[in-house]
Chains A and B, each alone.
Chain A
Amino acid sequence: MGFIIELIRFLKKRKKFWLLPIILILALFGSLLILAQGSVVAPFIYTIF
Chain B
Amino acid sequence: MIILGISAYYHDSACCLIKNGEIISAIQEERLTRKKHDASFPIKSINLCLKEAKISHSEIDYVVFYDKPFLKFERLLETYFAFAPKGFKSFLSSMPIWLKEKLFQKKLIIKELKNAFGKKTVWNNKLLFTEHHLSHAASAFFSSPYDKAAILTMDGVGEWTTTSVAIGHNNKINILKEINFPHSLGLLYSAFTFFTGFKINSGEYKLMGLAPYGKPIYAQIIKDKLVNIKEDGSFKLNMNYFDYCTGTTMTNNKFNKLFDGPPRRPESKLTIREMNIAASIQYVIEEIIIKIVKSIKKETQLDSLCLAGGVALNCVANGKLIKEKIFKNIWIQPASGDAGGSLGAALATYYIMLNNRRVVTKNEDNMKGSYLGPSFKNNQIEKTLSNYKAKFLKLNKSEIIDNVAKDLVKGKAIGWMQGKMEFGPRALGARSIIADPRSPKMQKLLNLKVKFRESFRPFAPSILRENLKEWFEIDQDSPYMLLVANVINEKIIKTNDEDKKLIGIDKLNITRSEIPSVTHVDYSARIQTVHRETNPMYYDLISKFNNLTGCPMVINTSFNIRGEPIVCTPEDALKCFMGTDLDILVIENFYLKKNEQKNLSFTNYKELYELD
Contact = CB atoms under 8 A, between A and B. Distances in A.
A38 B94 CA distance: 14
Contact of B250 (A22, A29, A43, A46): A46
Where chain B touches its partner, the secondary structure class is helix
Contacts of A43: 90, 93-94, 248
B76 A26 contact: no
B201 A46 contact: yes
Contacts of A40: 96-97, 100-101
Nearest to A48: B157
Interface string A7-47: 10010001010010011001101110110010011111111
A14 B74 contact: yes
B77 A22 contact: yes
A31 B99 contact: yes
Given A3-B107, A22-B77, A46 B187 contact: yes
Contacts, number: 75
Interface in B305-323: none
A33 B98 CA distance: 12
B596 to A, nearest CB: 45
B158 to A, nearest CB: 10
A19 B77 contact: yes
Contacts of A31: 99
A16 B71 CA distance: 11
Interface size class of B (residues with CB under 8 A): 35 or more
B381 interface: no
Contacts of B94: 42-43, 49
B96 A37 contact: yes
Contact of A7 (B70, B90, B247): B70
Contacts of A42: 94, 97
B248 A44 contact: yes
Contacts of A30: 95-96, 99-100
A44 B89 CA distance: 13
Interface in B81-95: 81, 90, 92-95
Interface in B443-498: none
A3 B69 CA distance: 12
B43 interface: no
B104 A46 contact: no
Contacts of B74: 10, 14, 16, 19
Contact of A34 (B77, B99, B200): B99
Chain A CB within 10 Å, residue with most, of B90, B94, B96, B247: B96
B77 A23 contact: yes
A5 to B, nearest CB: 12
A33 to B, nearest CB: 5
A47 B10 contact: yes
A26 B190 CA distance: 30
Given A29-B95, A46-B187, 17 more contacts: A6-B106, A10-B70, A16-B74, A30-B95, A30-B96, A34-B99, A40-B96, A40-B97, A42-B97, A43-B90, A43-B93, A43-B94, A43-B248, A45-B90, A48-B156, A48-B187, A48-B244
Interface of A: 3, 6-7, 10, 14, 16, 19, 22-23, 26-27, 29-31, 33-34, 37, 40-49
18 contacts: A3-B104, A10-B74, A19-B77, A19-B78, A26-B99, A30-B100, A33-B92, A37-B96, A40-B100, A41-B93, A42-B94, A43-B94, A43-B248, A45-B249, A46-B156, A46-B187, A46-B201, A49-B76
